[in-house]
Amino acid sequence: MKTLDTPADPTEKPTANPPLDQRLAGWIDTGNAIMAKTPHALIALGARIFPAAVFWLSGRTKVDGFSLKNSTFFLFEHEYALPLIDPAFAAYMATIAEHVFPVMLVIGLATRYAALSLLIMTAVIQFFVYPEAWVTHGLWAVALAYVMARGPGMFSLDALIARRYRKG
């Protein structure tokens, strides 16, 4: 009986396993094929939720109930100090944006525009407020840019609305 390890002819050498580089290439190809099947909807959901959480939590630190904290005005006047914008106006606008756009991202409503708005906020924070935090801002920017480029995925109101009106 011939097996893979024993030759039929005693003068014949046993077949060896493929070389290590070929086995590694096969493993890499298999891993790549498995990872390529990761659904866009799951990646998009994560790219929406995680930046939204950062902005939402930041917005929550600026308010007490339905009014802005005094510390929020202080931050916008002294620490954030944006050029060309009144600090009080900037405080209100940023706080509203940090509450509205994250909700839009999470539920997937006008998602690409919400992502664009938070990407603009990220750029302002990066260039005018905390330029040394470029790694953190880069991560936010990549997630938001992904959502802008690829859309919110099927777990979103945008997808639900699109399905409803495409059928009509």
Q: Determine the distance from the C-alpha atom of residue 77 to the mean position of all C-alpha atoms in its chain, rounded to a whole number.
A: 30
First to last CA, the chain: 67
CA dihedral angle for residue 148, residue 46, residue 61, residue 95, rounded to 10 degrees: 20
Kindly report, residue by residue over 109-166, the tens digit of the pLDDT: 999 999 999 999 999 999 999 999 999 999 999 999 999 999 999 999 999 999 999 8
Residues recorded for the chain: 168
Kindly report, residue by residue over 36-59, the tens digit of the pLDDT: 999 999 999 999 999 999 999 999
What's the rounded Cα separation, in Å, for the pair 47 and 154? 13
At 84, list the tokens.
Answer: 């060309």
At 88, list the tokens.
Answer: 């009080």
Which residues, listed in sequence order, are joined to residue 64 by a DSSP beta bridge? 67
The residue behind tokens 């902005």 is 55
Kindly report, residue by residue over 3-31, the tens digit of the pLDDT: 555 556 666 666 678 898 999 999 999 99
Kindly report, residue by residue over 69-80, the tens digit of the pLDDT: 999 999 999 999
